[in-house]
C-alpha cells in the first residue's frame, strides 16, 4: 500500500460541514481498533483448556467466558454507533479503547472464574463502544477509491483477526511468558491499547452527525431483550443441560423482536429517530448485504471454534500446531481482500457468489481430508482446503461491507455501521452456539471427533450454499 493511495486530499462532507480526511496513520489506528475486539472473540478458543485447568472453571463457566464477551458486544453495538453520532466518533473510539485496555487487564489478573466472566462482560461492552466508530469514521472521512481501499483493508483486518486470534492465542499460551500462561492472551492487549490511544489522539479526525438524535431508550431495551433472549439460551443451553429458562427465553424472542420492530416503526412515523430506522433497512443494498453477512459470519465462527476443538482434543495437537493449521486460510483471505477492489471494478458484486463457490470447494476439500484419514491428519493435509476456503471468504466479506454502507448517508454512518456489526457479531455468536453445539453433541469422545467434524463441515456447506444464493441477489454494482 503506497502512501499516495490513502493520502489526505479533499475533505468529505459529514452532514453540513466538511470533515477532515482519514490519512494513512489514522486508517492504521482505526483498523487496530477493529482488530482488537475480533481477536479477543477468537483468541480465547485455544486458551479455554488452560483456563479450565488453572481456575477449575468447568464446561458451563467456560461457555460463559466466551458468551460473556459476545453477548454484551452484540447487544450494545447499535447503541455504540448512535453514541458516536451523538458525541463524536473519535471521542467514543478513545473511550472504548481505554475501557478495552482496562478490562483486558482485569481479565488477565482475574483470580477466579467468576471474576474472569465479569471482566469479559465489561470487555465486550467496551468493544461495543469502540468497533462501530471504525466503519463510521471510514465512511465519513473517505470517498471514492480511497474508501474502497479502506473498506478492503477493513475486511482483510477482520479476516486476519479472526484467524490470527487463534494463532496468536496458541503461541502465547504455549510460550507461557513469565509464567503467565493463558493470562497473556488478555494482558497483551494492554500495551496495544495504550499505543492505540496515543495514535488516535494524533491521527484520527473527529466526525459526528450534524443532526444527532437522542438515544432511543425503548428501542435499545427491546433490542437488548430480543438479542439476549435468543443468544443466551443458544450459547449456554447445551452446557447447562437445557433447563426451563432456556426454553422460556427462546419463547420470548419472537415477541421481543416483534415489539422492537413495532416500536421502531411507530417512532419513525412520528418523526422521531429510532435506534434502527426502518427507512435505513429500506435501502436495498443494506438489506440484501446484511442477509449475506449473516450466514457468512455464522459459518465462519462455527468453523473456527470447531476446528480448534477437533484438532486439539481429537488429534492431540498443541495450541501452536492447531493455530498454525489456520495460517493458509489467513494468508489467502488477506490476499483476496487486497485483490477485491480490482475484481469488483471488473465484475461487480458477482465476486461475492464466486467467493462463496470457492469457499464451498475449500470446505468440501477439508471434509474429504478428514473423512479419508482422520487419525493421520496433519496440517499439510488441510492446507489446500484451508487456502481455497480462505480465498473465497476474502472475496466476500470486504465487498459486503462496501455494499451494506454504499447508500448510507454520512450523517447516519454510525447507525449503519452499528447495524451491520451487530448482525455480524450476533452471527459470530450464533455460529459458535449452533455449529459448535452440533459438533460437541456428536463428539462425546475423542474417537468420535473425526466423524463429528465431517458432519459439521457438511452442514456448513449448506450454509455456504445459502450465502451463494443470497449473493446472487445483491445489486450488480457498488459505489
* Mean pLDDT, range 47-72, rounded to an integer: 80
Q: Which pLDDT score is estimated for 2?
A: 35
**Cα(338)–Cα(352) distance, rounded to whole angstroms?**
14
Q: What digits encode the pLDDT tens for the residues 127-178?
A: 999 988 998 888 888 887 788 788 878 877 877 787 778 788 878 888 878 8
Q: What digits encode the pLDDT tens for the residues 27-54?
A: 999 999 999 988 888 788 778 878 888 8
The residue among 197 and 330 whose pLDDT is bigger is 197
* Burial readout 271-306 (b: 16 or more C-beta within 10 A, e: otherwise): eebbbbbeebeebebbebbbbbbbbbbbbbbbbbbb
The residue among 20 and 361 whose pLDDT is bigger is 361
Q: What is the DSSP annotation of 227-272?
A: HHHHHHHHHHHHHHT--HHHHHHHHHHHHHHHHHHHHHHHHHHTT-
Q: What digits encode the pLDDT tens for the residues 341-398?
A: 788 888 888 999 999 999 999 999 999 999 888 888 888 889 999 999 999 998 998 8
**Cα(51)–Cα(112) distance, rounded to whole angstroms?**
10
- The whole-chain average pLDDT of the chain stands at 84
Contact of 429 with 70, CB cutoff 8 Å: yes
Query: What pLDDT band is residue 19 in, cutting at 50, 70 and 90?
Result: low
Q: Which residues, listed in sequence order, are joined to residue 19 by a DSSP beta bridge? A: 12
* Cell numbers given for 463: 450454509
Coil, helix or strand at residue 14: strand
**pLDDT beyond 70 at 479:** no
The residue among 426 and 294 whose pLDDT is bigger is 294
3-state helix, strand, coil in the chain (%, to 5): 80, 0, 15
- Main-chain phi, psi angles of 263, to 5 degrees: -65, -40
Which of 158, 128, 117 is CA-nearest to residue 399?
158
**Cα(111)–Cα(304) distance, rounded to whole angstroms?**
28
pTM of the predicted protein model: 0.78
Compute how many other C-beta atoms are within 10 angstroms of the C-beta atom of residue 361: 18
**Cα(101)–Cα(93) distance, rounded to whole angstroms?**
12
Query: What pLDDT band is residue 232 in, cutting at 50, 70 and 90?
Result: confident
Q: Which pLDDT score is estimated for 4?
A: 33
**Cα(402)–Cα(415) distance, rounded to whole angstroms?**
15
Q: How far is CA 458 from CA 209, 293, 308, 445, in A?
A: 45, 20, 17, 20
The residue among 414 and 88 whose pLDDT is bigger is 88
Query: What pLDDT band is residue 103 in, cutting at 50, 70 and 90?
Result: very high
**Cα(278)–Cα(50) distance, rounded to whole angstroms?**
45
Q: What digits encode the pLDDT tens for the residues 173-205?
A: 888 788 888 899 999 999 999 999 999 999 999
Contact of 37 with 96, CB cutoff 8 Å: no
* Mean pLDDT, range 11-20, rounded to an integer: 46
Amino acid at each position: 500500500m503506497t502512501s499516495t493511495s490513502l493520502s489526505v486530499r479533499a475533505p468529505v462532507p459529514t452532514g453540513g460541514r466538511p470533515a477532515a480526511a482519514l490519512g494513512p496513520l489514522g486508517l492504521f489506528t482505526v483498523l487496530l481498533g477493529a482488530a482488537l475486539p475480533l481477536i479477543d472473540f477468537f483468541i480465547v478458543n485455544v486458551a479455554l483448556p488452560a483456563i479450565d485447568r488453572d481456575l477449575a472453571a468447568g464446561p458451563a463457566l467456560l461457555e460463559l467466558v466466551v458468551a460473556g464477551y459476545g453477548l454484551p458486544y452484540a447487544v450494545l453495538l447499535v447503541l455504540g454507533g448512535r453514541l458516536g453520532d451523538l458525541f463524536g466518533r473519535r471521542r467514543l473510539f478513545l473511550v472504548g479503547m481505554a475501557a478495552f485496555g482496562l478490562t483486558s487487564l482485569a481479565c488477565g489478573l482475574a483470580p477466579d472464574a467468576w471474576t474472569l466472566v465479569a471482566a469479559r462482560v465489561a470487555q465486550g461492552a467496551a468493544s461495543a463502544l469502540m468497533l462501530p466508530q471504525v466503519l463510521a469514521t471510514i465512511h465519513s472521512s473517505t470517498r471514492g477509491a480511497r474508501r474502497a481501499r479502506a473498506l478492503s483493508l477493513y475486511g482483510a483486518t477482520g479476516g486476519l483477526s479472526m484467524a490470527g486470534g487463534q494463532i496468536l492465542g496458541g503461541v502465547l499460551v504455549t510460550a507461557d511468558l513469565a509464567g503467565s500462561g493463558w493470562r497473556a492472551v488478555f494482558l497483551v492487549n494492554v500495551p496495544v491499547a495504550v499505543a492505540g490511544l496515543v495514535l488516535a489522539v494524533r491521527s484520527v479526525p473527529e466526525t459526528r452527525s450534524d443532526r444527532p438524535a437522542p438515544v432511543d431508550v425503548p428501542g435499545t431495551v427491546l433490542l437488548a431483550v430480543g438479542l439476549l433472549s435468543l443468544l443466551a439460551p443458544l450459547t449456554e443451553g447445551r452446557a447447562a443441560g437445557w433447563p426451563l429458562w432456556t426454553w422460556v427465553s427462546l419463547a420470548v424472542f419472537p415477541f421481543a423482536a416483534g415489539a422492537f420492530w413495532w416500536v421502531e416503526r411507530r417512532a419513525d412515523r412520528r418523526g422521531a429517530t429510532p435506534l434502527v430506522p426502518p427507512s435505513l433497512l429500506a435501502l436495498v443494498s443494506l438489506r440484501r448485504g446484511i442477509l449475506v453477512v449473516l450466514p457468512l459470519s455464522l459459518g465462519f465462527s462455527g468453523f473456527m471454534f470447531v476446528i480448534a476443538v477437533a484438532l486439539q482434543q481429537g488429534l492431540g495437537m498443541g495450541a501452536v500446531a492447531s493455530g498454525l493449521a489456520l495460517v493458509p486460510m489467513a494468508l489467502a483471505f488477506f490476499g483476496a481482500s487486497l485483490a477485491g477492489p480490482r475484481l469488483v471494478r471488473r465484475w461487480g458484486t458477482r465476486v461475492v457468489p464466486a467467493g462463496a463457490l470457492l469457499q464451498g470447494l475449500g470446505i468440501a476439500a477439508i471434509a474429504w481430508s478428514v473423512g479419508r484419514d482422520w487419525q493421520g491428519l496433519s496440517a499439510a493435509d488441510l492446507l489446500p482446503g484451508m487456502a481455497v476456503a480462505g480465498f473465497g471468504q476474502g472475496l466476500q466479506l470486504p465487498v459486503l461491507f462496501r455494499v451494506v454502507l454504499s447508500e448510507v448517508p454520512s450523517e447516519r454512518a454510525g447507525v449503519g455501521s452499528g447495524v451491520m456489526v451487530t448482525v455480524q457479531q450476533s452471527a459470530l455468536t450464533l455460529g459458535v452456539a449452533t455449529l459448535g453445539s452440533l459438533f460437541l453433541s456428536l463428539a462425546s469422545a475423542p474417537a468420535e471427533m473425526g466423524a463429528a467434524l465431517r458432519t459439521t463441515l457438511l452442514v456448513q456447506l449448506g450454509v455456504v450454499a445459502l450465502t451463494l444464493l443470497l449473493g446472487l441477489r445483491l445489486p450488480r454494482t457498488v459505489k
